[in-house]
């Protein structure tokens, strides 16, 4: 990291530091370094060749430096980031030396600068807090969170709750509807996940696939397609490959013709429609659809009707009720048969398909009659692995009132057995469970997932395979080699490029 602040002409403006420096000399060096990477003329990708922009010759003066009271208030607000015995203490005591841990002083100073820049408003500073939490977790540290379900620091989770509802699919296709009912469905065709059945403004289709040859069969989601009025069709395929109206999308974020937005962050591709509906897919097994209250009593599909009544969510596509829904899914033979009939009723055929060809054959599978652990020797192994979810002294105690721990545990056990004892299938459920708990405002939530996405791993399985550079807030940078710096400029700059092969 020592020579990270090397300009485009090869000049090292100041030796890089693992820890952030706020000195005037260093700030001036950061500014000169950033300006050296300004893009001009026909090399520009974002600005026109002749567009004018002004690079700051000297670093812009922070309001913190001219208003001591504002600086003091910002320091008080941001102090929890660096508290030795605070919420993030474990992030300052690394358990794994393969990756350097994030410098809390850099995020602390970034939080202060953003608070001052916003005139004392804490919402901009919250970006530094989110970035710090994300880096700590990426490097395998059990840290809590001050961010509520609405993305607000120290919020109570109420600022966004009343107007939105979410449906999710995870693992060996475990569904939680918009109204909170749970069910299973395994089939390898194309299905309606969620659809505006009143005005037909949008439809979300999913295709499941058969994975894992051997003793057991699983049907996680393979691909997602969205059709919206005035937009066309967006497909999110395995590996987060995106196709819009037949054309591949490779750069993000992307604004589509009707104003809808495509983003790719934190392992998810997210499509946000102009109607404020969000569809997110991790390219592997987890899908989430979030809708506004404008769609109450207008929806149908495997995500239910969104009428604020969870007991009637198992309504077939022809309007008949197959059985009363359950808040927590059941694995009785009767329930499994009902879930199967419900799922098959939303199978898509012929010209209505978005993912399969009109004449392509697929199999809806037969209704399961037993738990995948039955008749195998995997149950004990699965229960031992998944028990961490319900451990009263474990990392997820803070999730107890927010997420159904028993349902998460049972889904984990189900998937480990369905995958013939493979823990990675259960780990997928744990990752979804952790994410949902944090989204709902869980405090002091730990993790058993390392920076490589492995449950109970040591963080070495992916080390050395990639480097990561990040930019956030009022332009705080962390380089591929974990050296921090700030730069505020108004032009177009090279963030990263291949300086050898020019790939």
- Output 2-9 pairs: Cβ under 8 A, ≥24 positions apart: 4/479, 4/480, 4/481, 4/483, 4/485, 5/29, 5/30, 5/33, 5/483, 5/485, 6/33, 7/32, 7/33, 7/36, 7/37, 8/36, 8/37, 8/494, 9/36
Is the predicted pLDDT of residue 236 greater than 90, yes or no?
Answer: yes
What's the confidence (pLDDT) of residue 15? 56
Q: What's residue 214's pLDDT?
A: 47
Say if residue 487's pLDDT is above 50: yes
Mean pLDDT of 259-278: 88
Decide if 131 contacts 138 (C-beta within 8 A).
no
Given a cut of 70, is residue 339 above it in pLDDT? yes
Assess whether pLDDT exceeds 90 at residue 311.
no
Predicted confidence (pLDDT) at residue 201 exceeds the cutoff of 90: yes
Task: Map residue 1 onto helix, strand or coil.
Answer: coil
Could you report how far apart the first and last alpha carbons of the chain are, in Å?
22
Percent above pLDDT 70 for the chain = 82
Distance, in Å, from the CA atom of 343 to the CA atom of 192, rounded to the nearest integer, reads: 9
User: What average pLDDT score do residues 473-483 get?
Assistant: 76
Indicate the pLDDT class of residue 25, thresholds 50, 70 and 90.
low
CA angle 107, 108, 113 (to 5 degrees): 95
pLDDT band at 463 (very low <50, low <70, confident <90, very high): low
Name the DSSP letter for residue 173: T
CB 52 within 8 A of CB 38: no
The answer to whether the beta carbons of residues 427 and 455 sit under 8 Å apart is: yes
Chain centroid offset of residue 328 CA: 24
pLDDT on residue 287: 92
Residue 140: the pLDDT is: 66
**Quick one: pLDDT at residue 96?**
47
pLDDT of residue 9 exceeding 70? no
Least confident of 70-79, 80-89, 95-104, 129-138: 95-104
pLDDT tops 60 at residue 19 = no
- CA–CA dist 252, 255 (Å, integer): 9
pLDDT tens per residue, range 402-443: 887 888 898 899 889 888 888 988 998 898 888 778 767 777
3-state secondary structure 220-235: CEEEEEEEECCCEEEE
pLDDT value of residue 217: 46
Average pLDDT of the residues in 353-357? 90
């Amino acid at each position: 990291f020592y020579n990270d602040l090397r300009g485009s002409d090869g000049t090292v403006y100041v030796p890089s530091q693992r820890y952030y420096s706020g000195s005037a000399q260093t700030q001036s060096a950061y500014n000169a370094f950033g300006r050296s990477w300004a893009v001009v003329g026909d090399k520009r990708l974002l600005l026109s060749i002749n567009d004018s922009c002004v690079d700051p010759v000297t670093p812009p003066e922070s309001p913190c430096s001219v208003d001591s009271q504002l600086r003091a208030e910002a320091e008080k607000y941001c102090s929890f980031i660096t508290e030795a015995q605070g919420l993030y203490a474990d992030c300052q005591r690394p358990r794994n030396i393969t990756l350097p841990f994030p410098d809390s002083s850099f995020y602390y100073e970034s939080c202060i600068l953003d608070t001052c820049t916003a005139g004392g408003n804490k919402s901009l500073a919250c970006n530094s807090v989110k970035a710090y939490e994300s880096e700590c977790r990426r490097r395998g540290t059990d840290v809590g969170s001050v961010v509520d379900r609405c993305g607000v620091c120290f919020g109570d989770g109420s600022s966004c709750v009343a107007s939105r509802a979410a449906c999710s699919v995870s693992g060996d296709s475990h569904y939680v509807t918009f109204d909170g009912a749970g069910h299973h469905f395994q089939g390898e065709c194309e299905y309606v996940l969620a659809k505006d059945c009143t005005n037909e403004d949008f439809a979300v289709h999913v295709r499941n696939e058969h994975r894992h040859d051997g003793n057991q069969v699983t049907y996680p989601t393979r691909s997602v397609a969205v059709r919206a009025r005035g937009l066309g069709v967006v497909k999110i395929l395995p590996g987060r490959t995106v196709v819009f109206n037949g054309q591949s999308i490779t750069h993000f974020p992307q604004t589509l013709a009707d104003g809808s937005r495509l983003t790719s962050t934190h392992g998810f591709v997210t499509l946000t429609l102009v109607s404020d509906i969000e569809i997110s897919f991790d390219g592997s097994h987890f899908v989430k659809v979030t809708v506004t209250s404008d769609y109450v009593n207008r929806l149908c599909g495997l995500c239910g009707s969104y009428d604020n009544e969870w007991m009637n969510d198992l309504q077939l596509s022809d309007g008949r009720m197959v059985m009363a829904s359950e808040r927590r899914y059941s694995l009785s033979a009767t329930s499994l048969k009902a879930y199967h009939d419900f799922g098959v009723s939303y199978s898509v055929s012929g010209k209505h398909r978005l993912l399969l060809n009109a004449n392509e054959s697929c199999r809806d599978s037969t209704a399961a009659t037993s738990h995948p652990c039955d008749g195998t020797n995997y149950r004990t192994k699965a229960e031992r692995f998944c028990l961490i979810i319900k451990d009263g002294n474990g990392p997820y105690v803070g999730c107890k009132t927010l997420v159904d721990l028993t349902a998460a545990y049972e889904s984990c056990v189900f998937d480990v057995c369905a995958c013939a004892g493979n823990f990675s299938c259960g780990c997928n459920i744990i990752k979804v469970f952790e994410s949902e708990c944090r989204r709902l405002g869980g405090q002091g939530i730990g993790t058993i997932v390392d920076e490589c996405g492995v449950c109970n791993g040591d963080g070495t399985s992916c080390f050395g395979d990639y480097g990561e550079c990040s930019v956030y807030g009022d332009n705080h940078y962390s380089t591929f080699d974990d050296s921090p710096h700030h730069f505020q400029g108004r032009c177009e700059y090279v963030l990263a490029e291949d300086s050898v092969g020019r790939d």
